[in-house]
Amino acid sequence: MNNGLARKRLLQMYLSNLQVNVTALGFNPVWSDWRDIDYTPDYNKFYFISDGEGWLKIGDQELYPKPGQLALMPEGIRQSYSAINDKPYTKYWCHFTAKIGTMNLFDLIRLPWMIDVPVNDDLPAYLFKEMLRLERTDSLSSSLNLNACLLRLVGYFLDRSVQIDIQLAHAETSDILRAALAYIDDHFQRNITIQELADLTHMHPNYFIRLSKKHFGTTPIQYVNRKRIDKVKWLLASTDLTLSAIGEQAGIPDSSYLSKLFKSTTGLSPTHYKMLAGQKRI
């Protein structure tokens, strides 16, 4: 697997385990005394500027967001903000957590602190408005839908950031994890052991497991099984191979165990999944 593909796979692995939670949000003008200098929040923030002027400082970078720009202010980074004249911001804002395993997303992935939203792109404003609406409802699913909107907003920021600059933090650890994921992707059809992966990364097996759970929220073997089940899904949907033959290609030769693992992972038996996949092709 080439380096670019391995890097993309690592990013996808991170994002597939992302858990978000909205802690506060609003839409309002700030006052001329809007100001805080050199504080370090324990939550992430989005500011989507609607009107006015102001100043932000994130780490050592000073920003002057304009209307139509979306700013990200990650947790754990020293920040400042201030009004700069008698026309301070009116803005949508959101405080939130974004965890992968036990780590903050923005500790793992470095993004620009600000992106431009095209004039004709109404999605960010819509998502903020929908979150504000959901916050005022007391339906059973409101918190789920609220966090779903936040996930879309994070995804929007990521997609726009890819066009600018997106980097993996913790370069040495990222290289180790990329090597492990690339190895799994190339060899998941056979019996990969934790010891084999630990030897590859020059780590003790227990430390490698802890590192994987910390960064991905999953163990290496759970990732191997995920790859195998993805392969089984593809073969069920695209071929007429027997389950035994599919298991051989996916690295799970025991058909009984394959059926049990497939159902526990997808909620469907392989036969039911194949039937549904066939209906979709019609």
DSSP characters over 200-217: HHTS-HHHHHHHHHHHHS
Binned at pLDDT 50, 70 and 90, residue 9 comes out as: confident
Q: For the segment 156-185, what is each residue's pLDDT rounded down to a tens digit?
A: 999 888 654 455 555 566 677 778 888 888
pLDDT at 174: 67
What does the longest C-alpha to C-alpha distance in the chain come to? 73
Give this prediction's pTM. Answer: 0.72
The region that residue 202 occupies, defined by phi over 0 for left and psi between -120 and 50 for alpha, beta otherwise, is: left
Count of other CB atoms within 10 angstroms of residue 251:
19
Domain boundaries, the chain: 3-168, 171-281
Count of other CB atoms within 10 angstroms of residue 95:
18
pLDDT at 190: 86
Binned at pLDDT 50, 70 and 90, residue 280 comes out as: low
The share of the chain scoring above pLDDT 70, in percent, equals 91
Give the mean model confidence (pLDDT) for residues 187-216: 85
Residue identified by tokens 């339906």 is: 139
Higher per-residue confidence, 167 vs 10: 10
d(CA 251, CA 193): 13
CATH topology for 171-281? Arc Repressor Mutant, subunit A (1.10.10)
215: helix, strand or coil: helix
The DSSP secondary-structure symbol of 87 reads: S
d(CA 204, CA 177): 14
Q: For the segment 88-100, what is each residue's pLDDT rounded down to a tens digit?
A: 999 999 999 998 8
Spelled out in words, what is the top-level CATH class assigned to the domain 3-168? mainly beta
